[in-house]
Amino acid sequence: MSLYRPVSIGSLSLPGNLFLAPVAGYSDRAFRSLCVDQGADFTYTELVSAEALVRLPADLNTSKSGALLRRGRGEARYAIQLFGANPEVMYRAVLRLAPFRPEAVDVNSGCPVPKVVKAGAGSALMRDPAVLGRVVEAAVRASAEALGGVPVTVKMRSGWDSAALNYREAAATCQEAGAALVTLHPRTRAQGYSGKSDWSHIADLASRLRIPVAGSGDLYTPEDAERMFRETGCAAVMFARGAIGNPFVFAAARARLTGGAYAPPLPGERLAAAFRHLLLLAEDLGERTACLEMRKQFCAYTKGGGPGIPRGNQLRERLVHAGAIADYRIILEEYGLGPQIRRISQAKICLNP
């Protein structure tokens, strides 16, 4: 039986089990669109503050968060991820998602960033599973009232630190609160992104819950995805850092899991994808902000998804100083990508409103 298979999350049926994780500062809807084009079966937005969401004006599209919440081009199925520690605020925040019609809502219980943790949210919720359960229950209740009962999922860590590995209790609490899927990144908050994720925690959780378990952590290649499926029995895998600068990993993973053929993208294909990413991002953020944001993204595209790019160091040195779309265009055309860049520039690229 193929490791690549459909997965059901509550009432939501997905055609496959390759997911894009919510990655702060990277999984904007422009990037999610590229991942969908490459075969991502389900995508998650960057984390959005529930507290901020309930304080925003009535028209969310006029706010910065509106760009984070909107569906990407071609994104038929996506989840909006929220973080917060107050059940009532989470309830009100989920109610505000109705205009965006997401296919799922995800509660963040894994982010280790200090400003999130200090608010009692993210991985701080692992210190009190009872509170986490109430936050999830509030999200489920709001989904039933305003979103047609779309599933609520949870992304969590193994625990606060090595002395408090309580993912079993936390996940069971979420399941009883109505969560339809749990994603486990098997590192502790104390680890951050250091050390090695312990996939045995994913296998343990998958054997215990009635709901599907998705695995995350140290997924960089198609071979990693195959190994995680085989070693853990998880229902889905979620690429995070492994997809940054490499949306092609989804097509590669699907080929690996189904026995199909796959050729890694050529350097020109990777850079052309990055330029398309820039144009899409500029529609949301404006040219100046998008160009600044894309400096780090272009560097990632030059390193991920295939063999090394010739003269990569020199290319990156120029890209990190680009401040306008015209600058990027000139740099890439001088690198020898004139035909690809002109074709992308002339194409009608428009995200869904």
Q: 271, 246 in Cβ contact below 8 A?
A: no
35 catalytically annotated: no
What are 185's two structure tokens? 């990144």
Q: Which of 35, 111, 174, 299 is catalytic?
A: 111
Longest dimension (CA), the chain: 58
Q: 86, 49 in Cβ contact below 8 A?
A: no
Q: 48, 80 in Cβ contact below 8 A?
A: yes
In whole angstroms, give the CA distance from residue 9 to residue 73. Answer: 23
Say how many C-beta atoms besides its own lie within 10 A of residue 8's C-beta. 14
Phi, psi of 114 (to 5 degrees): -55, -45
- In the chain, which residue ranges form alpha helices assigned H by DSSP? 29-37, 50-55, 64-69, 87-95, 114-117, 129-146, 167-177, 199-206, 222-232, 249-258, 267-285, 287-301, 312-319, 325-332, 338-346
DSSP characters over 90-139: HHHHHHTTGGG--SEEEEEE----HHHHTTT-GGGGGG-HHHHHHHHHHH
| 97-130 as b/e: b if 16+ CB within 10 A | beebebbbbbbbbbbbeeebbebbbbbbbbbbbe
In whole angstroms, give the CA distance from residue 64 to residue 285. Answer: 9
Phi, psi of 349 (to 5 degrees): -110, 115
In whole angstroms, give the CA distance from residue 107 to residue 299. Answer: 30
In whole angstroms, give the CA distance from residue 184 to residue 207. Answer: 13
Task: For strands 152-159 and 181-188, give the pairing.
Answer: parallel
In whole angstroms, give the CA distance from residue 129 to residue 135. Answer: 10
Which positions are catalytic? 111
